Amino acid sequence: MDQILGQVLRNAVWERLDMLADLAKEADSPALVSAARSELPRLTEGWRAMLSAHEPDERGDCPTCSTRWHRCKAPCSVWQVAHDHLVAGGLAHFHDSRRARRLRGSTAAAPPAQNRRAPASTGRHALVGDTGR
């Protein structure tokens, strides 16, 4: 049951992000201004809430990403992605691809996160993902 609810939650978030991306590409100026006024404060508050959960502790570790057996030094991947997308801007894709290749030990480019989609046979966002059964 938790897997189904988690998938429904994830699908709702992906759908909202898709809707906002489509709006940014296709809407006219008045619609964009209206969307910006309503959505930008929500998006910035969401980023702030997520980033505050990943603030380093007194040892310089991310309390959210760290486990009992493995400490994750700050900045964690959440802060790195935030910087890449909110500050670095156009360099983010280049930087992410290089880091992903380095971590994988491969020279193949990593697909950008914003291009992730569910398999075409299930639509853009299936309600229940493949559980491997």
pLDDT (tens digit per residue) in 81-96: 999 988 988 564 555 5
> Taking residues 23-29, what's their average pLDDT?
89
- Give the ranges where the chain is alpha helix by DSSP (H): 2-26, 29-53, 77-83, 92-104
Evaluate whether 23 touches 35 at the Cβ level (below 8 Å): yes
Name the residue among 132, 130, 128, 133 with its Cα closest to residue 2.
128
Q: Is the pTM of this model over 0.75?
A: no
pLDDT (tens digit per residue) in 41-54: 999 999 999 999 99
